[in-house]
Chains A and B, each alone.
Chain A
Amino acid sequence: MHLILFIVFAGFCLAGAINLLLQSHPINSALSLIVVMTSLAVLYLLLGAEFLAIAQVIVYAGAIMVLFTFVVMLLNAGREDRTLGSRAALRVGFPAVVAILAVIATVILRAQGLGVARLSEGITSTEELSAVLFTKLLLPFEVTSVLILIAILGAVAMAGHDGGDGERTGGK
């Protein structure tokens, strides 16, 4: 069962990721990304991280991606046009990515001591998670909330100008 589930949802992940790359309209890419994230949530469940799986769905797929979709629709982003492109990106970037992937894959495949995913044992309950989060890691938790506050303020400040910085209609 575990294997089937893994193969199916890993396949969804990869398919969604590749689809994100292949689509030309950003809204399609956003929807593909939602697929990826939801599949990842299932994979988290398979690994025993139940809280994270739910958080992934709620926060990532449910909030962040919705935000992305809002912005796409707000800005009326259309299909991508063929622009100048960047030769460096093709000539330098692709080999780099290939190298990164190759190195990491080699390391992973050669690593010893990696076991198997055991469905029965490795479930982490929310209680365990919160026990650590709210006692030992309380400070980072609070700091993170401050960070989110700052992000909200920043977002409002930047995106909230009504014609303040937006006079320039750009040009080249």
Chain B
Amino acid sequence: MSSFLAQEVPLSWYLLLSAALFSLGVVGFLIKRNLITVFMSIELMLNGVNLSFVTFAHQWHAVKGQIFVFFVMMVAAAEAAVGLAIIIAVFRARATLAVDRIDLMKL
């Protein structure tokens, strides 16, 4: 038992988790019908990617990997702010948050 518990975690597991989070984020993007929830799926994708960056930073002892995560967080914050502002503007225009009803861009 202790030998089992004392095992180290292979880095590939972290990477697999990251891939899984990313894929779940894409799935969420595809199936959710509320605009805000779709946006949240995007954040989930970003987080998945962040995890893989940190994993590799750990492997190569590269600080730059973590700095990149730092920047991703900053950009995600900015993006969230602007994106939510857009959602508010769209809601004001169309009075609905259903993704399928916001199709002004169709030919």
Within 8 A of B (CB), among A126-164: 128-129, 132-133, 137, 140, 144, 147-148, 150-152, 154-159, 161
Tally of chain A residues near chain B (CB < 8 A): 92
Distance in angstroms from B81 CB to nearest chain A CB is 5
Verify B15–A114 contact, CB threshold 8 A: yes
Given A49-B57, A111-B12, answer yes or no on A152-B81 (Cβ-Cβ < 8 Å). yes
Provide the bound-state CA to CA distance between A51 and B71, in Å: 13
Verify B61–A56 contact, CB threshold 8 A: no
Q: Which residues of A contact B11 (CB under 8 A)?
A: 114-117
Verify A124–B66 contact, CB threshold 8 A: yes
Q: Which residues of A contact B22 (CB under 8 A)?
A: 100, 104
Can you list 25 residue pairs at the A/B interface with Cβ under 8 Å? Answer: A6-B13, A14-B21, A17-B20, A20-B28, A20-B40, A29-B37, A33-B43, A36-B44, A47-B55, A49-B58, A55-B70, A75-B36, A75-B91, A83-B33, A100-B22, A109-B16, A116-B10, A117-B8, A122-B58, A124-B57, A144-B71, A144-B75, A150-B78, A155-B85, A168-B94
Q: Please name the 6 residue pairs, one residue from A and one from B, whose CB atoms are nearest each other, closest first.
A: A166-B92, A151-B78, A170-B94, A116-B8, A155-B85, A159-B85
Query: Which residues on B are within 8 Å of A, measured CB to CB?
Result: 4-17, 19-28, 30-34, 36-37, 39-41, 43-44, 47, 50-51, 54-55, 57-59, 61, 63-64, 66-67, 69-71, 73-82, 84-89, 91-101
